[in-house]
Amino acid sequence: MSQDQATSSAPAYTRWTRDQIAARVAHDIPDGAVVNLGIGLPTAVANHLSADKEIVLHSENGVIGMGPAPKEGEEDFDLINAGKQPVTLLPGGVFFHHADSFAMMRGGHLDVCVLGAFQVSAKGDLANWHTGGKDAIPAVGGAMDLAIGAKKTYVMMDYLTKTGQAKLTPECTYPITGLGCVSRLYTDIAVIDLEGGIGKVIDLAPGLSLEALQALTPGVTLVQA
């Protein structure tokens, strides 16, 4: 599987591709879980779920029981997820009013939600809806309900911004989506559990050391899990 080679003055390491990140998330979701996959990168997780597991996918626009993305040319644009992307429906899948969908989210009936993020703090605070840009979306939407309502919230994101700053920060500087809600980060260079304000590193990209990751992450304490 192709990978992108990192280039910097630090020792070289190989970033995981977005498909590899999605596959890792899919591997870690337990059998029997009811899961919401957020808009953007998290939707790729559906394409990597094992046929050996029964995982029920939910979308906040009122769909449960989704399958992988449809093949090109087989899309049904009356069957979409919350990000307006065409989806497939597995046997037993159903549609319902979005008010019922939000009741599922707010009522604690989702085992896992997987979201993207602009920033995550060491305390598990999530910022994923607004950066202050003129073209930013005008409101937080359902991400707030998902982040707080799910039993576990995972985040998928690139570890660094385009200018090289870590998105894992001591405090979020962007508007908050949810406080203390993120339990695990899946990024292109590390998988990290957040517990008690400390990042517990579960896995590192090939060629990357814990010391090098710490150097990229000022103000946040990282330890090997």
Q: Which residues are catalytic?
A: 60
Coil, strand, or helix at residue 111? coil
Coil, strand, or helix at residue 173? coil
Helix ranges, 1-114 (H): 18-28, 98-106
41-58 per-residue burial string, b: 16 or more CB within 10 A, e: under 16? bbbbbbebbeeeeebbbb
Coil, strand, or helix at residue 103? helix
- Cβ contacts of residue 133 below 8 Å, gap of 6+? none
The closest alpha carbon to 205, from 11, 37, 41, belongs to 11
